[in-house]
Structures are given as structure tokens and as C-alpha cells.
Amino acid sequence: MQERLQKIIAAAGIASRRKAEEMIEHGRVRVNGELIRELGTKADPDNDHIQVDGKSLRTSKTLLYLMLNKPRGCVTTRKDPEGRMTVMDLLGRYRSKVYPVGRLDYHSEGLLLFTNDGAFTDGVLSAKSLVPKTYHVKIKGHPTAADLDKLRDGIRLEGRPTAPAKIHLIRKGEKPWYEVTLIEGRNNQIRRMFQQRGFLVEKLKRVKIGSLALGKLPVRQVRPLTEKELAGLKKRVQKKGGQTTASRNTPLAKPSARAQRSKPKSSRKRWRQ
């Protein structure tokens, strides 16, 4: 049966559907020897010879959903040009079958998802799904109430404010720990948010994605999601409409700068616990 190429590539565990589309547009995909650049092209995974970067595609009929407790000092990518350890090195027999859902930076640790389900990946990552991600963050210094309010309300990054966040203290000390929950995921967002208020993030660990908690999974260990865990995540994505193709990685709608200036300060609601 014929399917769209990007769906076939995602099902094979090569990349998400969006990344697969980029591969097609960049001329990295061939079908029966013919270079394909047009999105929407269909192929039959059982009868057509599909190649990505010159390598034959191995299609997988079984959808996989895994969670890893990522260690620090590990990059979230399939291959690293600098030769550093990647998250794929920790997957054992699953390595060639799945790809990461989103990322954690080199110095961060904690919960990271893997799958070969492109629609699931796009739903979890879509801004419209509003899937919350929760982190435990150790910082140097002691933010004031005003600092925390500013972080909750939004910090301007790349010229636009971050979405409201939940932040509360979970451990006091010379270097306190905070629990931070976001509904968006810009590059190094939490580190940059605290840095703007003058605080260095020393440790960052993701402990939850939607209803899925890291729990007691040991560092560097991977396991499949249970049926209950998967159902909870999918319910969250579908409830918010994140499963639709049109919503893939669509940025959250923001009012124009003029509209923001004209709004009263109370119009931007805080998202608090």
C-alpha cells in the first residue's frame, strides 16, 4: 500500500515527519533510484526501494515508545561530529529502530522519549498541544519574589516573551532547587531565563513530560512505556489537537508588540501552581 514518503521514513525510525520532509526537500531521499524532492510523493514500503543518504530503508511495522534517563555529558543526536557519546549509544537493541522526541542539551539530564511514530512525535512537540515539561533546577544564588514573578510571567528571548511558567522552591540551601514547568521548549530556555535575572543554572533535570514521570528509572537506563503511560500522553496530545498535521511545531500565537503595549498589565495571566 502506498504512503507518503515522510510517513514511511518516520515509521522506519529515521526521523520525525517534519525532519523527514526536510530530508526530502534537501535531496537526501531516492525511490527506485530516482531522486525525490517533492513533498507528498508516495511510495510502497513493501515493494519500492527507498534510500535515505544512500542507505536502504528498513521499514518497521511495530510502533515503539521508550523512555531514557539521560545522563549529563551526552548529546541528543544520532551521530556527533566531535565523537562524543550520544543518546543513541544507550539504547542497545533499540538503537536502529527509534529516534529522540525533542532534545535535552549536553549538560542536562533526565527524561527523554524515543519512538518511531512520527504523528506521536509531532503531537508531543507541537506548541498547540501544550504538553507541559517539568524540570528540577539547581541554581547559584537566591532569587527574590520579584525575580520569580518575572520568570513566571515571561522573559523576552529572541524578541518575544516566553509563555507563562510554573516555578516553586523544592529545596532550600546555599544553592537552592526549583521545580519549573514549561509549556514551550526553546533552546536552553530555562538556563537563559534564569541567566537574564542574574542566576546561573548549575544542574537541570527533566522529571516529567505531561503525565509521564521519570520515577526511579536509573541513569543511562531505557525502558518501554507501559500501555497506561502511553495512553495518558496520547490523551493529552489529542485533547489539545496536537495530533493534526497542520499543528506540527507551530509556534504559539503571540500578540503584536503594539497589541502587547496597549494591553493592561493584568491581561497576561500567570500560569501558577
- Cell 510517513 belongs to residue: 7
Q: Which residues contact 114 (CB under 8 A, 6 or more apart)?
A: 64, 65, 66, 67, 68, 87, 91, 94, 98, 99, 100, 101, 222
CB atoms within 10 A of CB 3: 13
Give dist(CA 217, CA 206) in Å, integer: 12
Question: How big is the chain by its Cα radius of gyration, in Å?
Answer: 20
Q: 34-36 and 29-31: which strand pairing?
A: antiparallel
Catalytic residues: 105
Cell (9 digits) for 9 = 521514513
DSSP helix/strand/coil, 87: helix
Give dist(CA 101, CA 67) in Å, integer: 10
